[in-house]
Amino acid sequence: MAIAFIHTADWQLGAPFGFVPGDAGAALRDARFAVVRRIALLAWEKAVDAVLVAGDVFDGNAVSDATVNRALDAMAPFGGPWVLLPGNHDAALAESVWTRLASRSDLPKNIVLATEPRPLPLAEDRLVVLPAPLRRRHESADLTGWFDGALTPEGAIRVGLAHGSIEGLLPEDADVHNPIAADRAARARLDWLALGDWHGTVAINAHTAYSGTPEPDRFKDNEPGAVLLVRIAGVGARPEVERMVTGAYCWHRIEASVYGTDDVRALEDRLRRLAENGAALDRQLVKLTLRGAPDLDTRRALDERLAGWREPRLRWLDVDDTGLLPEPSSDDLDRLGRHGFVGAAALRLRARAADPADPEQGVARLALQMLYLESVRLDDGTGPC
């Protein structure tokens, strides 16, 4: 009577990643399909009875037919049941990606569209999936309530499939739409409640969990990039859950203070160490927030070093340097001409750049940096003739 299945969610196929420009964004879009294929191969390797996808299979209902076709191709290596649940991104509207899928004459028979709240018997009735599909993006009622009274064959493993929020048990920044009772598994006599919506792995209790997205997609330290392999020996048995890493890309938030060249070297060391987690540097995305008051020569060195870390070395590097306050040294001011017009302009810019009440503080910082860099180019003979 033992049952094994893969619990996954939040694929969001077709997500545009518009905030990541160029080739890096294209690579992330492709990664969403590549991870589905890895899940299919894993399901085949582990000989599971089904793959359960707890919502947000697609990023929206307007995804192209090409996206749908790529999804089906990625799932093809596993010939067992794929149970696909509509989530808040791809709710089962009257006209949706689900109605398009249902109308296809070539839809593989092992693709199960869980668009109705009714029991779905699988594995010769040894496993029954109880889905709670979203019919719109946000629901105020708990759509898993019907699980409690659902009738299933005696001896069948009961698994709930839902997409929403368990209020009070997720981190504070989690959405609270589409509520799900924290004790639903106990109330409905579920052997497992497979949840989607939160993009990281979170165990609610021994019979309830969020799998998280199988491929990281944002800068959050919440254990994304995995699926859950769930084995249940029989009705009422404690599930054996194995978290299996599937993600290809690593997303990092890094904060660093820069005052001198030693800090620049230390920052480079931190970036080099990213590869120590086993993923190559071109599989790393970094959101870098900088603070400090470097002199202008240090700032020039910092910009040169960071330029060398951008794609293709790192897959993507996003730098927020608004917290860097240019602090010209005596040598900097000498270079700019302490007693000349340029020097006087530099002193005025320095004062404005240091004044948080100045509405043009950011402009003054940039102007001071540009003035210094232009001075360096002229002194080095690299400026305009």
- What is the per-residue pLDDT across 8-42, written as a single tens digit (0 to 9) for each? 999 999 999 999 999 999 999 999 999 999 999 99
What pLDDT score does 338 carry? 57
Same domain, 154 and 275: no
Same domain, 265 and 198: no
Tens digits of residue pLDDT in 81-126: 999 999 999 999 999 999 999 999 999 999 999 999 999 999 999 9
pLDDT of 131 higher than 90: yes
Kindly give the residue spans of alpha helices, DSSP state H, lying in 83-138: 97-102
- Boundary residue ending a domain (221, 245, 269): 245
Segment 320-346 mean pLDDT: 74
What pLDDT score does 30 carry? 97
pLDDT of 336 higher than 80: no
Burial of 341: CB neighbours in 10 Å, binned 0-12, 13-18, 19+: exposed
Task: Tell which residue, 230, 224, 226, 143, has the closest CA to residue 194.
Answer: 230
Same domain, 124 and 154: yes
pLDDT of 168 higher than 90: no
What pLDDT score does 208 carry? 97
Please give the model's pTM, rounded to 2 decimal places: 0.86
What pLDDT score does 11 carry? 98
Note whether residue 344 is domain-resident.
Answer: yes
Same domain, 93 and 202: yes
What pLDDT score does 385 carry? 38
What pLDDT score does 349 carry? 82
The residue ranges of DSSP E strands in 59-99, in sequence order, are 82-84
Same domain, 166 and 296: no
Segment 178-194 mean pLDDT: 95
Could you list the residue range(s) of the whole structural domain that residue 126 is in? 3-245
Same domain, 235 and 291: no
What pLDDT score does 365 carry? 78
Tens digits of residue pLDDT in 219-277: 887 889 999 999 999 999 999 999 999 999 999 999 999 999 999 999 999 999 998 87
- Measured distance CA(232)–CA(308) in Å, rounded: 50
Task: Tell which residue, 211, 175, 176, has the closest CA to residue 192.
Answer: 211
Same domain, 90 and 194: yes
Same domain, 189 and 100: yes
- Boundary residue ending a domain (227, 245, 263): 245
What pLDDT score does 190 carry? 98
- Measured distance CA(335)–CA(312) in Å, rounded: 35
Segment 167-177 mean pLDDT: 63
User: Which pLDDT band, with edges at 50, 70 and 90, does 185 fall under?
Assistant: very high
pLDDT, greater one: 103 or 370: 103
Mean pLDDT of the chain: 90
Per the structure, the count of domains in the chain is 2
pLDDT, greater one: 171 or 364: 364
Q: Are 305 and 272 in contact (CB under 8 A)?
A: no
User: Which pLDDT band, with edges at 50, 70 and 90, does 325 fall under?
Assistant: confident
State the DSSP H helix or E strand holding residue 186, giving kind and residue range, or none if neither: helix 184-187
- Measured distance CA(111)–CA(80) in Å, rounded: 8
Same domain, 259 and 240: no
Same domain, 302 and 236: no
What pLDDT score does 174 carry? 53
Segment 359-366 mean pLDDT: 84
Note whether residue 385 is domain-resident.
Answer: no
Q: Which residues contact 360 (CB under 8 A, 6 or more apart)?
A: 352
Same domain, 127 and 270: no
- Boundary residue ending a domain (204, 219, 245): 245
What pLDDT score does 176 carry? 65
Half-sphere exposure of residue 192: CA atoms within 13 angstroms, side-chain side: 32
pLDDT of 210 higher than 60: yes
User: Which pLDDT band, with edges at 50, 70 and 90, does 58 fall under?
Assistant: very high
Note whether residue 275 is domain-resident.
Answer: yes
Helix and strand numbers, DSSP H then E, in the chain: 9, 15
CATH number at 200 reads 3.60.21.10
Tokens describing residue 7: 């619990």
pLDDT, greater one: 189 or 349: 189
Same domain, 225 and 349: no
